[in-house]
Amino acid sequence: MSKQYEAVIGLEVHVELATKTKIFCGCSTEFGGAPNTHTCPVCTGMPGSLPVLNKQVVEYAAAVGLATNCEITQNCKFDRKNYFYPDNPQNYQISQLYLPICRNGKVEIEVEGQKKDVRIHEIHMEEDAGKLVHDPWTGDSLVDFNRSGVPLIEIVSEPDMRSAEEVIAYLEKLRLIIQYLGASDCKLQEGSMRADVNLSVREAGADKFGTRTEMKNLNSFKAISRAIEGEMNRQIDLIEAGEQVVQETRRWDDTKGASYAMRSKEDAQDYRYFPDPDLVPVEISDEWIAKIKEAQPEFRDEKKVRYKEEYDLPDYDIDIITGSKHLADLFEATIALGTEPKEVSNWLMGETMRLVNESNMDIDDVSFTPEHLAKLIEMIAKSEINRKVGKEVFEKIFKEDVDPAAYVEEYGLKSMNDEGALRKTIEEIVENNPKSVEDYKAGKKKAIGFLVGQTMKATQGKADPGIVNKILNEILAQI
Amino acid sequence: MANHIDDATIEYVGILAKLELSGEEKEQAKRDMESMLDYVDKLNELDTSQAEPMSHVFPIHNVFREDVVKNGDGSKECLANAPEEQDHSFVVPKTIV
């Protein structure tokens, strides 16, 4: 390749909002119900049914807009986007085209120490479609309308990104802002956050855009990175071969590592938008905006600064803990019980992350209570249990959220801090292992390790290794 | 008629509407659409540059629902409309997403 190319990338990100009910009816949004159990005449598009807007959807959408520096459209409304597909029972999707709720925002991203703004063109509210499942046996498709009418916001960026790294940084930024707001859990794998990538390439430094394609079906950060690399190379190859890039929608197949043009017939797009006459305009007053602003939480960037100042944690720890709203909440709730911040951080960074990785789970699904972690830390600090036993108990807390005090009591894991009893046990071990004592006396200082090990075994690991060492040294000195 | 709908346009509209029309139906649809467009042209003769676009016939706004689950299992009523049903779902001809 003789010329240098750069990618120009814009994103359309759909986020499923964490409301209890759908956007226009009182059906539950809960995941995993049997097909079509969360349906009513409104979300299945029955004639004569009347949609009524869920207030919480407006509040979440405006909150995301304010957190991404958008202007709020104080007089906004809904439009119908017309298309025919079996997942869309009304033959139109209620969305916003002319007056979306948020416009002209931006978020700051950082890639390899370089900061830059990614501008947000708009954020609009809309409803999700139903789910189609293909039955390979009969060749038919099955339609489940449980997702139909689940509220979404679509965040449309300007074409401000130039690499896969920038795209990932932007998505991470959005994900954390939205998670901190509690507006969505933003899980790509489960589809509560979905990104479509608009990408074109041009010679580096050129100011005209090339022809772009839109890539769909990207459900992990890895898939997004791979799809961007793949599409960049495909377009560059076309240009180098003197061919044209066709503006089209392409579907990424992550297992094959390639994308395919969706058939143009399916892709025929002429949505004939018009204002939805069933829904009245939404007016968002200054007072309402002020109220939403006031309810905004402390975001990650602010937390990072405060954790450094207040708790003096290492940057690495701060990055990991604030990288999940759930983990940050757990950290703060445990500290609020009077526990030493560095100690809490150590348990979260060490054992918690180890167990999360081991069981291949999502950090947001960690479910133990802060009270139990605080209690465990206290028990170790008071030498009621030693650190090794503490790790065992923590595993139980992590997996079953056991009360550490009750668990230690039930399984008799309390430290043997009774020096008298411990001394007696050690004396017996010394007596039964004359060879080790001899070795030790002969200068093989390592032999003491074996005796410590025997003591820990005899006490089922409950003795404090420091105290065992001390007593053993005393006894051996006397022989 | 002032407006003319050509074969390519009627074909395209047919694809959008997922309709298969016979030759005769196509000709009829062309004539209907041409007269509709003529009618809209007539409306366009009015000067509306000073009028606010109307978004709703009633002068009301902010009609909301609270975020509270009100509906139970609606699958029985919903699936009563299914011409064919399997696994609690509507059966439709094969679609490729």
- Rounded to whole angstroms, the Cα distance separating A21 from A127 reads 12
Average pLDDT, chain A: 91
Place of tokens 């990055």: A319
Residue-level pLDDT at A2: 63
For residue B85, the distance in angstroms to the closest alpha carbon of chain A comes to 8
List helix spans (H) across chain B.
Answer: 7-16, 23-44, 75-79
- Rounded to whole angstroms, the Cα distance separating B90 from B83 reads 8
Distances (CA, A) of B14 to A269, A289, B24: 13, 45, 14
Contact yes or no for A53 and B64 at CB 8 A: yes
| Partner-chain residue, chosen from A53, A77, A132, that has the shortest CB–CB distance to B55 | A77
Contact yes or no for B91 and A141 at CB 8 A: yes
Residue-level pLDDT at A435: 86
- Rounded to whole angstroms, the Cα distance separating A266 from A70 reads 34
Backbone angles phi, psi at A289, to 5 degrees: -60, -45
| Partner-chain residue, chosen from B62, B63, B94, that has the shortest CB–CB distance to A139 | B94
Residue A234 CB neighbour total at 10 angstroms: 17
For the record, the structure tokens of A392 come out as 């065992």
Most confident of A46-50, A363-367, A429-433, A449-453: A46-50
Residue-level pLDDT at A263: 65
Distances (CA, A) of A346 to A379, A399, B82: 16, 18, 57
| Number of Cβ pairs < 8 A linking chain A and chain B | 138
Residue-level pLDDT at A264: 58
In this prediction, residue A28 has a pLDDT band, given cuts at 50, 70 and 90, of: very high
Distances (CA, A) of A353 to A322, A325, A360: 14, 15, 10
What is the distance in angstroms between the CA of the first residue and the CA of the last residue of chain A?
A: 80
Contact yes or no for B67 and A55 at CB 8 A: yes
pLDDT in tens, A136-155: 888 899 999 999 999 999 99
Residue-level pLDDT at B19: 87
Which H or E run contains A81?
strand A79-82
Asked if pLDDT for residue B51 goes beyond 90, the answer is: no
In this prediction, residue A427 has a pLDDT band, given cuts at 50, 70 and 90, of: confident
3-state secondary structure of A76: strand
Contact yes or no for A54 and B73 at CB 8 A: no
Higher pLDDT, A132 or A417: A132
For residue B14, the distance in angstroms to the closest alpha carbon of chain A comes to 11
- Rounded to whole angstroms, the Cα distance separating A350 from A194 reads 31
For residue A228, the distance in angstroms to the closest alpha carbon of chain B comes to 21
For the record, the structure tokens of B91 come out as 């059966």
pLDDT in tens, A256-312: 889 998 865 455 578 889 999 999 999 999 999 999 999 999 999 999 999 999 999
Asked if pLDDT for residue A421 goes beyond 80, the answer is: no
Q: Is A231 exposed, middle or buried (0-12, 13-18, 19+ CB in 10 A)?
A: buried
Which whole number is the average pLDDT over A211-222? Answer: 90
Contact yes or no for A265 and B15 at CB 8 A: yes
pLDDT in tens, B28-50: 999 999 999 999 999 999 999 99
Strands A193-203 and A213-216: antiparallel
Which whole number is the average pLDDT over A338-342? Answer: 92
Residue of A79, A101, A128, A140 to mutate when probing chain B, most B C-beta within 10 A: A140
**Cβ contacts of A265-273, under 8 Å, gap ≥ 24:** A265/B15, A266/B96, A268/B12, A268/B15, A268/B16, A269/A83, A270/B12, A270/B16, A271/A81, A271/A82, A271/A83, A272/A82, A273/A79, A273/A80, A273/A81, A273/A82, A273/A95, A273/A97, A273/A98
CA A292 vs. chain centroid, Å, equals 23
3-state secondary structure of B31: helix
Residue-level pLDDT at A267: 56
pTM: 0.83
Asked if pLDDT for residue A84 goes beyond 90, the answer is: no
Asked if pLDDT for residue A1 goes beyond 70, the answer is: no
Which whole number is the average pLDDT over A332-350? Answer: 94
Contact yes or no for A142 and B95 at CB 8 A: no
Contact yes or no for A140 and B69 at CB 8 A: no
Which whole number is the average pLDDT over A207-235? Answer: 92
